[in-house]
Every structure is written in C-alpha cells, then in structure tokens.
A and B are shown apart, each in its own frame.
Chain A
Amino acid sequence: MYYGLISSMKKTVASAYTARTTAFIAATGISDTTIINALNTMDLSLISAGLDTKMKALYPFVGGTASTHKYNFMDARDLDAAFRLTFSGGWTHSSTGILGNGTNSWAETYLNNSIVLTQNSTHLSLYSRTNNTTPIVDIANSSSIYNGAPSLFINFSGSTYIQVNQNSYSSIGDGDSLGMRIASRINSTTEKLYKNNSLLLTSLKISLAAPNGTMNLSKWYTGGYWSNREYAFCTIGDGLSDSEASTFYTITQTFQTSLSRQV
C-alpha cells in the first residue's frame, strides 16, 4: 500500500514540470525554484501559443555560470548536435545573463541554417540588458556568402540592422539597445524587425537560400565587432508572424520579470 502511495506521489512530483523543464534542470543541476518555475511557465506559454515547435534553439541564460548558460532549453543535451553553446574568450557569466567583453568573446551555437531552417522561415531574437550604440554584431552566421546573414546588429552606431536570408542589410534608427529584438522572415518577399512589442521595420527583400554556416553570438564572419552587451535570452528558429512575435515578446518579458532582470 505504502509503495503504491509513494509511487503515486513520485508521479505527481514528476509531472509538475514540462518534459523540457525537467530535462533542462537535470542537465544544468539548477535547483532554484524561482528559475525552475519561470522556465516552466515560459514553456507552458510557448506550448499554449504554438510557439515551442518554432524554436530550434532557446538559450534562457539562467543559473549564472557557463555550465548552465550553455544549454539549449529545447534540447538540453551536452552535444554540438543539440546546439549547446561553446563560449570562447572573456565572457562574464552571472544571474542576469552573459556579458561580452567587446574584445574577443563569442559563442558557437552549431546551428547550421541550411540544415535546420528554411529560406522563407527564419527568426533570430535577442534580449539585451545593455544600452549602448557600440558598432557590434550581436548574432550572425559564420558563412561569408551573404556577409554573415542571417544577422542582427542592435543599435549599431544608432541603427538596428537585419538580414534574414538576404545579401543586403535593412536598417532603421533605434533609440536604444535595451530589451528584445526579433528579426523574422515568413515569406519570400519580406523581412521584419520587432522591438519589444512593436513592429519597427518592414523591408521588402527577396529571400535567398539559407546559408551553409552556423550561427554565432557576438561574432561576425570576418572577426571584429565583438559584443560588449549582456544578453539574457536568445532564440533561433522558424519565422514568426506579427502576432507570434508579439506573443513571444510577452512570454519573454514575463520570464525576465519573474527573474527580476527585465529591462
């Protein structure tokens, strides 16, 4: 009788979190219930909105160390094939995210666009906690074929630049580098930039094939443009529509707020 009761209790505990949250906390060893509950709420919200299947890599940057920040929430295996990050150079890891040094810090995602994503459905997102106008590359592809596209340069000397499977930049003046930016393409003709909950830019650019290269944080394909910003969230995945981008921002901001690190 007792065995049955205990077994039943274990099942209840085990089902308290989503499978992804359970896998992520097992991989990272995170025991802080504030973080775990924030992750679980985020995952439930992504599932409810149908956004979880669009995320190929989702880096929540929780736990405060390189060993916890490296994991992809969508596939928390310690493998290149799971898009687990490799950090090179001088990153500073803390409970608020990953801070580049602007000198030589970058991270390899191992996510190859030509394998994982498609020409007309791609998004990149970043959540920055640093406000500056430094000319840096926040995220870009390692291939030179389209000058590092897909890429996102937030408030690069005053303008935010995007290239989503394109060989020329679209840009628009940006008042700061704080919060979330999403670069997205969901068709062959248009790429868009979202800043927090707003559509900042719609650019008519015919798509080109997804490049055969991997996505890098804080590194352009030529080197240089190293980031000196702190990131608290990053995703790479399928393209997001206007309503999906809005919902995704709300989910992300709720996540950051629950960790007391929102901007």
Chain B
Amino acid sequence: MKLTDITQAEWTTYVGLLTQEQMYSIVGKEYTTDSYFNPLQDLNDNWIISVEEMEFCTNTDYLWVKDLPLIIYEPIPAPPLS
C-alpha cells in the first residue's frame, strides 16, 4: 500500500516503513521548511515515519519518502506514568 492509496482520515492508521539505511539518511533532516523527520521504531522493531512527514515532504533530497510502503502503525506501549 502507498500514500496515494489512503485517505486523510486513514493517516493515523498507517506509517511509512523505512530500512535502517533510510532511517539514518533522514533522521533530524528537514522534510519541509522548519519541520524535521523523527523516525521511530514500532512494536515490531520496524523503523517508521508518519504519513504527515511523507505527505508534507518538499525537500527534493527526500521526495522518495512519498513512495515508502505503508504499514499499519503498532506503537510501542508507553511506559507507565510513575
């Protein structure tokens, strides 16, 4: 599944799947003016970015993120508030 296959209402359901090399190439880089990539690992240790980062990317060095395969987001459970 690709970015073009989902509606905006589904943005929170899916994330873009990165290889480790791709993650290293974008972490902390600007995807559009004054906005920076923040790759995370999901519950299955996949490196992912949000659909917003893919959709809003205008940096010509990283337009390939728009073609990332989408997977359903499975977050790592947040630690308990202590």
Give the complex CA separation of A25 and B81 in angstroms: 40
Give the complex CA separation of A66 and B75 in angstroms: 26
A225, closest chain B residue (CB): B78
Contact with B along A52-96 (1 / 0, CB 8 A): 000000000000011100100000000000000011111110000
Give the complex CA separation of A89 and B37 in angstroms: 5
Contact with B along A136-164 (1 / 0, CB 8 A): 00000000000100000000000001000
Return chain B residues, CB-CB under 8 Å to A228: 12
Question: Do A105 and B12 contact each other (CB < 8 Å), given the known contacts A66-B32, A87-B35?
Answer: no
A168, closest chain B residue (CB): B82
Interface set, chain B 17-65, CB cutoff 8 A to A:
32-40, 49-53, 56
Q: Is A90 in contact with B52, judged by CB distance below 8 angstroms? A: yes
Give the complex CA separation of A220 and B32 in angstroms: 24
Give the complex CA separation of A103 and B12 in angstroms: 7
Chain A CB within 10 Å, residue with most, of B36, B39, B50, B73: B50
Q: Is B78 in contact with A103, judged by CB distance below 8 angstroms? A: no
Return chain B residues, CB-CB under 8 Å to A87: 34-36
Q: Is A65 in contact with B33, judged by CB distance below 8 angstroms? A: yes
Besides the known contacts A92-B56, A223-B40, 12 further A-B residue pairs in the complex with CB atoms under 8 A apart? A88-B35, A91-B35, A101-B50, A101-B52, A103-B12, A103-B50, A103-B73, A103-B75, A104-B38, A104-B39, A147-B82, A225-B78
Query: Can you report 24 residue pairs joining A to B where beta carbons are below 8 Å apart?
Result: A65-B33, A87-B34, A87-B36, A88-B36, A89-B53, A90-B53, A90-B56, A91-B52, A92-B52, A101-B12, A101-B50, A102-B12, A103-B15, A103-B50, A104-B39, A104-B50, A106-B38, A135-B78, A147-B81, A147-B82, A161-B81, A222-B78, A222-B79, A224-B76
Could you tell me which B residues sit within 8 Å of A by CB distance?
11-12, 15, 32-40, 49-53, 56, 73, 75-79, 81-82
Could you tell me which A residues sit within 8 Å of B by CB distance?
65-67, 70, 86-92, 101-106, 135, 147, 161, 169, 220, 222-225, 228
